[in-house]
C-alpha cells in the first residue's frame, strides 16, 4: 500500500460510507414483514474515497447492487483544462482558448470481478492497496448483511 491511502469518511474513521437514496412509504404487507415505515426506492450506494499520499486529488469508488450483481465505478479527481474550440475553417483543428473547463472522468460501471482484476489494478498499480479496498467493501457488505459477490 505504498503511496496510496484510504480517506476516512466519518470522525470514527469509517472507510466506506453508505448513501441512501429516497424512500417511499411501506405497504401494509411490507410494514408487517420489516417493521419499517419507509422503504428505499433504490438500493443504497457504498462510497470509498482514496488518494495518493503526495497528490492533491481524491479518487472515489462507488458500489451499487443492481439486479443481484455488484457494479463498481472509479471516479477520477476533477481536473482543470483549457477549453478547446474547433477552428472556423476546418473542424479538425482545435484552438486553445483562455477559458478553463473542469473535466470529470470515470471508468464506467464494471462488474466486481473485472473491476478488481483489471480496472483498479491498472490505475493504482499496487496489489496490496487493491486487496485493502476489496477487504473494506467486503466488511461493509457483511455489516449490511448483503450477500457476498
For residue 87, pLDDT beyond 60: yes
Average pLDDT, whole number, for the chain? 84
Residue 77 CB neighbours (<10 A)? 15
User: How much is the pLDDT for 118?
Assistant: 94
pLDDT exceeding 90 applies to what percent of the chain?
22
Q: What's the average model confidence in pLDDT over 126-143?
A: 90
Tell me the residue ranges of DSSP E strands in 37-146.
38-40, 45-52, 58-66, 69-75, 79-86, 94-103, 110-111
* Tens digit of each residue's pLDDT (9 = 90 or more) over 12-34: 767 888 776 677 788 888 888 88
Closest Cα partner for 46 from 139, 143, 137? 137
> Would the CA dihedral through 66, 67, 70, 76 be positive or negative?
negative
- Look-up: residue for cell 417493521? 35
User: How much is the pLDDT for 1?
Assistant: 47
The pTM for the full model equals 0.73
Amino acid at each position: 500500500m505504498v503511496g496510496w491511502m484510504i480517506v476516512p469518511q466519518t470522525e470514527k474513521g469509517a472507510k466506506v460510507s453508505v448513501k441512501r437514496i429516497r424512500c417511499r412509504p411501506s405497504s401494509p404487507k411490507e410494514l408487517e414483514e420489516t417493521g419499517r415505515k419507509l422503504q428505499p426506492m433504490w438500493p443504497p450506494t457504498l462510497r470509498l474515497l482514496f488518494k495518493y499520499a503526495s497528490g492533491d486529488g481524491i479518487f472515489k469508488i462507488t458500489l451499487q447492487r443492481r439486479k443481484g450483481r455488484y457494479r463498481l465505478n472509479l471516479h477520477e479527481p476533477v481536473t482543470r483544462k483549457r477549453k478547446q474550440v474547433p477552428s472556423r475553417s476546418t473542424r479538425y483543428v482545435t484552438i486553445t482558448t483562455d477559458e478553463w473547463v473542469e473535466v470529470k472522468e470515470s471508468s464506467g460501471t464494471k462488474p466486481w470481478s473485472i473491476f478488481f482484476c483489471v480496472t483498479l489494478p491498472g490505475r493504482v498499480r499496487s496489489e496490496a492497496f487493491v486487496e485493502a479496498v476489496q477487504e473494506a467493501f467486503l466488511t461493509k457488505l457483511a455489516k449490511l448483511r448483503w450477500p457476498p459477490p
